[in-house]
Structure 1
Amino acid sequence: MKLKNYKPLLNLASLIVVTYVLHKIIFYTFDIESTAFHYSIETLYLLFSVLSLIVLVVLLKVKEQSFDNVGMSFLLSTSIKMIVCYLFLRPVLQVTSQNNSIEKKNFFAMFILFLAIETILTIRILNKNQ
C-alpha cells in the first residue's frame, strides 16, 4: 500500500487533535468540571481514536482487496464499534446524577462527532475511485 493511500489516517489524526483542543476549550469556557466523570475526556478520546483508526485501516485494506465491499465493511465495522461503545458506556448509564447527565451527553456527542468524521473520510475513500 502506498503512502498516499494512508492520507485518511493523517486526516483522522489532525481532526482528532483539533476536536480535542476545541473540546477542552468548550469545557473551560463553560466551566464544566470533568474530574468527577467516570471516564476522563482523554480516555474517551483514546477509545474513540483507536476505534476510528481500526475502522479506517479496515476500510483501506478492504479497498485494496475489493472496492465494492467498502460500504458494507463500513456498516459492519461501525456496528461493531457501536457495541463496543455501549459496553464501555454501561457503567455510566447505571448511575443517575446531574454530573452524570453531562457525562452521558458528552459521550453521545463524542460518539456522533467521531461517527461523522469516519463517515466523511469514508466518503472521500469511496469518491477517489470515481
Structure 2
Amino acid sequence: MLLKNHKTILHLLFLTVGAYIVHKAVFLIFGIQDQNFHYTIEFLYLIFFAFTTVLFMILLKFKTTHFDNIGMLFMGGTFIQMFFLYFVLRPILIDKLQNMAIEKMNFFITFILFLIFETLLTIRLLNEKH
C-alpha cells in the first residue's frame, strides 16, 4: 500500500538518477570543469529533487481529499519553488566571471528538466482514477 501511494516519488527518483548520469556524462565528454561553479551538479540535483519530492508528497496527501484542486496546488507549489530557487540562482546571476554563462545554462537546464518531470508526473497523477 505504501509503495503504491508513493510510486510517483519512485518514478521521480529513477528520472533524476537517469538525468544526472546523462548530465554528468555530457560534462565529462565536453570536458567542462565545474570546480569554479557556485554549485556542483550533485548539489543542484539534490536541491531540485528535494523541492520536487516535497511538492509531490503534498500532492499525494491532498490527492484523496482535494483531487479537484491538484492542478492549482501544483501551480502554487511550482511558484513557491521558483521563489526559493531564485535565491539559489542569485549568486550565479551576480557573478561576472567567464564561466558563469555555462553555470547559468547548467542551472536553467536542470530547472527546466525538473519542471518537465514535475509536469509529466502531475499529469499522470491527474489521469489516475480515484
Following superposition, the deviation at residue 62 of structure 1 comes to: 1.2
Q: Distance in 2 between matches of 1:95 and 1:2?
A: 45
Structure 2 counterpart of 1:125: 125
CA offsets 1:27-51 (integer angstroms, 9 cap, x no match): 0001111111001111111100100
RMSD: 1.2
Deviation beyond 4 Å, 4+ runs, structure 1: none
Structure 1 counterpart of 2:106: 106
Structure 1 counterpart of 2:21: 21
Q: Which segments of 5 or more consecutive residues in structure 1 lack a partner in the other structure? A: none
Check if 1:59 corresponds to 2:43.
no
Q: Distance in 1 between matches of 2:9 and 2:76?
A: 19
- The one-letter amino acid paired with 1:78 is T
Structure 2 counterpart of 1:7: 7
Q: Distance in 2 between matches of 1:2 and 1:102?
A: 41
Q: Distance in 1 between matches of 2:58 and 2:94?
A: 33
TM-score by length of 2: 0.96
Q: Which segments of 5 or more consecutive residues in structure 2 lack a partner in the other structure? A: none
TM-score by length of 1: 0.96
Following superposition, the deviation at residue 3 of structure 1 comes to: 2.7
Structure 1 counterpart of 2:43: 43
Percent identity of paired positions between Structure 1 and Structure 2: 48
Following superposition, the deviation at residue 2 of structure 1 comes to: 4.1
